[in-house]
């Protein structure tokens, strides 16, 4: 039997632990972790029965890795990804790709030359309702998309009680609603209708206690010819994502919280719903892990490329600049 691919999860905090568990659940890999936090290392090692390194350089030197899942705060993503590539591994990089463009062109170049499989972990790409809605829109049945509206949010203190103690507290470590949450939505929509070409962003800290970064964002954008509006908060009660795309011959709706996508053609009065069998959050991360492993085997995957991640990073940076200058930005 051929040897299973080896995956190193760098940073075993909230999302790193989930990646580690979900890669392990694929049954297709050997997994190890790396984290600087001793108590966390001990818990991860005993819970999952995996080796956990205390130092990234030592982990990279310890053996050859097929892939490194980069789950440290975003200001470390570019450097840690380059180190993984230099050690001969591919990378699956958590979102956002980075917090600035520094080193990103080099990362794209090195990744392309490496021949290793590299992707960004924008998890919306493995949501079956997003995939189906995208496939339907790209089939052309509704004609060209012309306008879209996305409203989303959640009560962050409920979902991430530790938000005051993590990367979220500072823009410099990838924090705030724009880099932390809006980036998922922008990347998903860019994947469906194409890149943002212009935007105006208004954002503010409205409510979340113990932080000063923005928790509320409104964006008016153009994705080429498609006009778009985004509204999200991280203090609202409902945990919801509603995307409406209006095209030449009808409309498409995705309700992420209901795991459904729907179509209404011009002249119709009701949505035709397509309901997906219910999935838990880990199911999505297992699907993402399987997609990454497919990529390692040279198969096509729906995952975000590093180039797409870099485009969404440009949008994050433009959105932050638009907020600070109160000006629209052309990308
Ligand atoms: N896709 C998603 O749904 C999702 C959800 C949460 C976070 N994220 C992203 O994942 C990344 C991590 O977020 P998180 O919530 O897991 O943060 P976290 O603070 O819970 O975990 C980060 C971990 O990295 C470790 N670490 C930091 N520097 C290190 C180093 N040099 N070497 C080894 N370990 C190091 C820390 O000890 C910590 O355990 C961020 O980029 C974040 O935006 C994505």
Q: What is the pLDDT of residue 1?
A: 47
Helix, strand or coil for residue 279? coil
- Picking from 74, 52, 37, the residue whose alpha carbon sits closest to that of residue 312 is 74
pLDDT tens-digit series, residues 271-284:
999 999 889 999 99
Instruction: Look up the CATH superfamily of 124-277+305-330.
Output: Dihydrodipicolinate Reductase; domain 2 (3.30.360.10)
- Atom of ligand 1 at shortest range from CA of 121: 1
pLDDT, mean of residues 127-149: 98
pLDDT tens-digit series, residues 281-304:
999 999 999 999 999 999 999 999
User: What would the two tokens of residue 13 be?
Assistant: 């905090």
Q: Could you tell me the distance, in angstroms and rounded to a whole number, from the CA of residue 176 to the centre of ligand 1?
A: 15
For the cut 80, the answer to whether the pLDDT of residue 88 exceeds it is yes
Torsions phi, psi for 236 (to 5 deg): -65, 155
Q: What is the pLDDT of residue 8?
A: 99
pLDDT, mean of residues 13-24: 98
Cβ of 14 closer than 6 Å to ligand 1, yes or no, is: yes
Q: Could you tell me the distance, in angstroms and rounded to a whole number, from the CA of residue 159 to the centre of ligand 1?
A: 15
pLDDT tens-digit series, residues 30-82:
999 999 999 999 999 999 999 999 999 999 999 999 999 999 999 999 999 99
For the cut 60, the answer to whether the pLDDT of residue 128 exceeds it is yes
pLDDT, mean of residues 181-190: 98
Q: Could you tell me the distance, in angstroms and rounded to a whole number, from the CA of residue 12 to the centre of ligand 1?
A: 7
Model confidence at 101, pLDDT cuts 50, 70, 90, reads: very high
Nearest residue (CA) to ligand 1, atom 27: 72
Q: What is the pLDDT of residue 2?
A: 64
Cβ of 303 closer than 6 Å to ligand 1, yes or no, is: no
The DSSP symbol for 273 reads E
The topology (CATH level 3) of 6-116 is Rossmann fold (3.40.50)
- Give percent of the chain above pLDDT 90: 98
pLDDT tens-digit series, residues 245-273:
999 999 999 999 999 999 999 999 999 99
Cβ of 226 closer than 6 Å to ligand 1, yes or no, is: no
- Atom of ligand 1 at shortest range from CA of 179: 43
Contacts for 203 with CB less than 8 Å, ≥ 6 apart: 176, 177, 178, 214, 216, 217, 218, 319, 323
Pocket-testing residue among 71, 121, 184, ligand 1, by greatest number of atoms within 8 A of Cβ: 71
Sheet holding 6-10, edge to edge: 52-53, 30-34, 6-10, 67-70, 90-93, 118-120
Domain boundaries along the sequence of the chain: 6-116, 124-277+305-330
pTM for the full predicted model: 0.97
Pocket-testing residue among 9, 41, 73, ligand 1, by greatest number of atoms within 8 A of Cβ: 73
């Amino acid at each position: 039997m051929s040897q299973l691919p080896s995956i190193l999860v760098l940073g075993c905090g909230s999302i790193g632990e989930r990646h580690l568990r979900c890669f392990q659940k694929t049954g297709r890999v050997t997994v190890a972790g790396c984290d600087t936090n001793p108590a966390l290392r001990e818990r991860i090692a005993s819970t999952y029965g995996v080796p956990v390194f205390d130092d990234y350089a030592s982990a990279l030197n310890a053996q050859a890795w097929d892939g490194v899942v980069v789950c440290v705060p975003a200001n470390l993503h570019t450097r840690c990804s380059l180190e993984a590539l230099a050690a001969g591994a591919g990378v699956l990089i958590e979102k956002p790709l980075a917090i600035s463009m520094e080193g990103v062109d080099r990362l794209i170049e090195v990744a392309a030359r490496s021949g290793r499989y590299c992707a960004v972990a924008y998890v919306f790409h493995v949501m079956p309702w997003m995939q189906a809605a995208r496939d339907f829109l790209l089939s052309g049945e509704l004609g060209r998309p012309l306008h879209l509206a996305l409203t989303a949010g959640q009560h962050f203190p409920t979902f991430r009680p530790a938000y005051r103690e993590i990367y979220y507290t500072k823009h410099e470590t990838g924090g705030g609603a724009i880099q932390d949450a809006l980036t998922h939505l922008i990347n998903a929509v860019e994947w469906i209708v194409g890149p943002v070409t212009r935007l105006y962003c208004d954002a503010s800290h409205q409510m979340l206690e113990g932080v000063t970064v923005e928790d509320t964002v409104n964006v008016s954008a153009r994705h080429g010819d498609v006009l778009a509006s985004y509204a999200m908060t991280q203090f609202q009660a409902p945990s919801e994502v509603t995307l409406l795309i209006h095209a030449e011959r009808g409309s498409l709706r995705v309700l992420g919280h209901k795991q459904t996508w729907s179509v209404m053609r011009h002249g119709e009065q009701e949505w035709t719903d397509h309901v997906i069998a219910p999935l838990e959050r880990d199911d999505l991360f297992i699907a993402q892990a399987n997609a990454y492993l497919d990529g390692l085997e040279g198969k096509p995957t729906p995952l975000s490329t590093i180039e797409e991640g870099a485009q969404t990073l440009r949008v994050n940076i433009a959105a932050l600049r638009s907020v600070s200058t109160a000006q629209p930005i052309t990308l």
